[in-house]
Structure 1
Amino acid sequence: MTSRRTLHFVFKIGDRNATLKFYREILGMKVLRHEEFEEGCKATCNGPYDGKWSKTMIGYGAEDNHFVCELTYNYGIGQYALGNDFLGLTIKSAEAVKNCKVKNWELKVLSENIYETHAPGGYRFVLVDEPQPCTDPVQKVTLASSCLQKSVDFWTKIAGMKVYEQNGKQATLGYSDEQAKLSLQDIACPVEHKKAFGRVAIACPRNELKGVQNAAKEANGTILTELVSLDTPGKATVEVVILADPDGHEICFVGEEAFRELSQIDPKGNDLLNEAIAADKSNEWYSKHRRAKPDA
């Protein structure tokens, strides 16, 4: 399905200040757009929460040709428990490795030219110490699988990806050579998501969304949200279908045409984010009252 493309992975974050320092100063990503919402998302983009939240898209370039990160922040929640489901985002960037060393950020050697670090909240990142490519530095997102072949069957037959590499413990899939890949790693035990569970987003031509939903139904797959329209005031209305793979990993298929309009870079995004962080006094309130910000 060359007309489909991987878009982003959704991370729930509890500390915007520390998290954005990591993404901007360590990874060297740029804020692409930022939005504030007064109530939860109809498609549970921010998780199963009904209150005020924000969404920050951040990456090395527009989602038209880059895999980016979506950071969702629920006001009043300070931390999310990690499961064994998300195994890492791999980025080719000697600059990020250098930033870790210069700023004394945690950096563990995995092998020659390959390092491991973590974002605030515990999310794992693998950094390849090679010049940052002019295309997309994000190479792949790695998710856990309890049964590799069952996972591969889902991502090929329903999500429409092709297999690039596969052995007994790992498979690499994707839609094209130029895009960030999905890596599935067999962990030989049940996949546990806990509160920090994320979501992969995939752009799909609008006229294929119903087919994706029907394919999941015919395979007795899990449909979390049937085809629905999501309104963003003043912007495009997008249609989405949200599925779960055999291990419960969420996948949001979004209509390509409207999403291209919705996902344009906002030159005011960084300023909007900074203003929102400055206006958020929740940390000061909890500190004043000598209480810890609640966990999810």
Structure 2
Amino acid sequence: MRILHTMLRVGDLDRSLAFYTEVLGMRELRRQDYPGGRFTLAFVGYGLESEGAVLELTHNWDTPSYDIGNGFGHVAIEVPDAYAACEQIKKRGGKVVREAGPMKHGTTVIAFVEDPDGYKIELIQKKTHA
């Protein structure tokens, strides 16, 4: 078994695709409209679905926004340098909500950014082994 994808409901698919592709550097892997159900599914990721987990962005045509609720935490992405990633994300118009730095009560370097719908994305700096 393996994790295939995580689904996020988004209010504006074009805005969300721009964030995940242009700001976070993912690729749009596939998209399918379902006119009978009035929704679109778009899959984004850093690699092929056959090789790793991706995000499914679900856009229900008649729902412009969602309440995230208090059960959802975040999506985590490993980055080589969290400080540099935050600077690039800001340059591309992304919103950094917690600057890069060591996590509280630990040494792992993390940061948080927020997508256009308010979902938190944690950036975790890849550990180097000496």
Q: Deviations over 1:94-121 (max 9, x none)?
A: 4743421322422122633311111111
Q: Deviations over 1:199-243 (max 9, x none)?
A: xxxxxxxxxxxxxxxxxxxxxxxxxxxxxxxxxxxxxxxxxxxxx
TM-score (norm 1): 0.37
Please state whether the residue corresponding to 1:54 is helix, strand or coil: strand
Return the match for 1:39 from 36, 40, 44: 36
Cα gap change, 1:57 to 1:92, in 2 (>3 Å): same
Q: Deviations over 1:55-80 (max 9, x none)?
A: 00110111222110000111121101
Q: Which runs of 5+ in 2 are unaligned?
A: 103-108
Cα gap change, 1:72 to 1:104, in 2 (>3 Å): closer
Displacement after TM superposition at 1:126 (Å): 0.3
Distance 1:66 1:38 in 2: 29
Distance 1:26 1:109 in 2: 16
Residue in 2 that maps onto 1:124: 120
Displacement after TM superposition at 1:85 (Å): 1.2
Cα gap change, 1:14 to 1:120, in 2 (>3 Å): same
Higher percent of residues as helix: 1
Q: Deviations over 1:132-177 (max 9, x none)?
A: xxxxxxxxxxxxxxxxxxxxxxxxxxxxxxxxxxxxxxxxxxxxxx
Return the match for 1:91 from 77, 83, 86: 77
Return the match for 1:70 from 56, 71, 82: 56
C-alpha contact (below 8 Å) 1:118/1:125 kept by paired residues: yes
Distance 1:106 1:71 in 2: 19
Q: Which residue identity lines up with residue 58 of structure 1 in the other structure?
A: V
Residue in 1 that maps onto 2:106: none
Over the matched positions of the two proteins, sequence identity in percent amounts to 31
Higher percent of residues as strand: 2
Q: Which runs of 5+ in 1 are unaligned?
A: 41-51, 132-296
Residue in 1 that maps onto 2:39: 53
Q: How does 1:127-206 map to 2 (within 5 A)?
A: 127-130=123-126
Distance 1:125 1:12 in 2: 15
Residue in 1 that maps onto 2:105: none
Residue in 1 that maps onto 2:24: 27
Return the match for 1:82 from 56, 68, 76: 68
Please state whether the residue corresponding to 1:35 is helix, strand or coil: strand
TM-score (norm 2): 0.80
C-alpha contact (below 8 Å) 1:114/1:126 kept by paired residues: yes
Displacement after TM superposition at 1:38 (Å): 1.4
C-alpha contact (below 8 Å) 1:33/1:58 kept by paired residues: yes
C-alpha contact (below 8 Å) 1:97/1:129 kept by paired residues: no
Distance 1:102 1:12 in 2: 26
C-alpha contact (below 8 Å) 2:7/2:57 kept by paired residues: yes
Displacement after TM superposition at 1:10 (Å): 0.5
- Is 1:111–2:101 an aligned residue pair? yes
Distance 2:23 2:88 in 1: 5
